[in-house]
């Protein structure tokens, strides 16, 4: 029996007549009659006896009933499960982020998303780029928000946002013009590490101008650079999002020479993302641009 045959058989058993079964299935009465006739012809025996009081299940049909009812219970379970999947119920989304995005972008994005998908669990990890890539490859994360750089061929990189790095100065510093690289080096520029995604951009720009900062301190975490500036250790260059976290404590200035950076989402190329994960990605994308616009409008024009 085909599934359509079983569906018509169950509907007639449930309603007691072909006309009522047609209404239940939202099809025409001839359609139900045609499917039932086809089923009985294929089976080689009748499923119902046509009587004045309605359709009566034959002995052969009664033997089929337990299996049919069991099938319908399983179909009902599948329907419930697909609806839960559509709503994201019982799912866990595993997202990673570079440290700079954890508090400024992911925290408010997850708050917004939880209002839309309260039944979905979220696991958030903040780590450095290489660790996040490995966790995705090991299937420990669904995707990660990182600064743009080259990724493994097995990973898919989706660009989300582009901007330029900004300069951080002590809050009451008298310098108010866009900071040149020469000026930054002359005022104790705290350096990013050379192998860092943004550090490579900064080191390349300094090499192109033949500049060599006097400060030997090399820092991997961008928020630590901001903390060092806050402590009076010099001036720094960081991404827009880290800078915005310190906007009430430090002075933010554009860098005269553009130091571009890109934000991207990375995931496994061979594994499609769940509907819940795709929804969270869109919330993160919107929050990223919203925060960037707020920062750029409030503090300076890049």
Over residues 18-52, the pLDDT tens digits come to: 999 999 999 999 999 999 999 999 989 999 988 87
User: Does the pLDDT at position 301 exceed 50?
Assistant: no
Question: What would the mean pLDDT of 114-128 be, rounded to a whole number?
Answer: 78
Quick one: pLDDT at residue 302?
42
- Give the span between the Cα atoms of 165 and 286, in whole angstroms: 20
- Give the span between the Cα atoms of 266 and 150, in whole angstroms: 11
Q: With the C-alpha atoms ordered 38, 39, 44, 50, is the resulting torsion angle positive or negative?
A: negative
Quick one: pLDDT at residue 182?
93
The model's pTM: 0.64
- Give the span between the Cα atoms of 109 and 103, in whole angstroms: 10
Share of the chain above pLDDT 90, in %: 25
């Amino acid at each position: 029996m085909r599934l359509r045959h079983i569906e018509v058989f169950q509907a007639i058993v449930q309603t007691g007549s072909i006309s009522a079964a047609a209404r239940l299935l939202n099809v025409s009465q001839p359609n139900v009659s045609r499917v039932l006739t086809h089923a009985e012809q294929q089976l080689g025996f009748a499923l119902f006896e046509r009587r004045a009081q309605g359709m009566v299940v034959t002995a052969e049909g009664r033997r089929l009933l337990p299996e049919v009812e069991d099938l319908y219970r399983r179909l009902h379970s599948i329907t419930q499960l697909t609806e839960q999947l559509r709503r994201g119920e019982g799912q866990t989304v595993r997202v990673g982020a570079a440290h700079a995005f954890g508090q400024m972008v992911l925290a408010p994005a997850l708050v917004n998303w939880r209002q839309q998908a309260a039944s979905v669990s979220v696991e958030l990890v903040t780590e450095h780029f290489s660790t996040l890539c490995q966790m995705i490859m090991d299937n420990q994360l669904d995707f990660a928000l990182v600064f743009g750089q080259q990724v493994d061929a097995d990973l898919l990189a989706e660009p989300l946002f582009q901007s330029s790095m900004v300069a951080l100065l002590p809050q009451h510093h008298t310098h108010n013009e866009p900071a040149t690289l020469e000026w930054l080096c002359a005022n104790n520029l705290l350096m990013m590490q050379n192998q860092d995604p943004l550090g490579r951009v900064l080191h390349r720009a300094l090499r192109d101008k033949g500049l060599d900062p006097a400060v030997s301190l090399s820092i991997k975490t961008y928020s630590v650079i901001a903390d060092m500036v806050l402590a009076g250790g010099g001036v720094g260059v960081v991404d827009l999002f880290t800078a915005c976290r310190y906007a009430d404590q430090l002075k933010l200035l554009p860098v005269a020479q553009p130091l571009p950076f890109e934000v991207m989402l990375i995931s496994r190329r061979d594994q499609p993302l769940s509907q819940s994960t795709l929804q969270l990605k869109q919330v993160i994308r919107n929050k990223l641009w919203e925060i960037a616009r707020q920062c750029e409008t409030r503090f300076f024009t890049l």
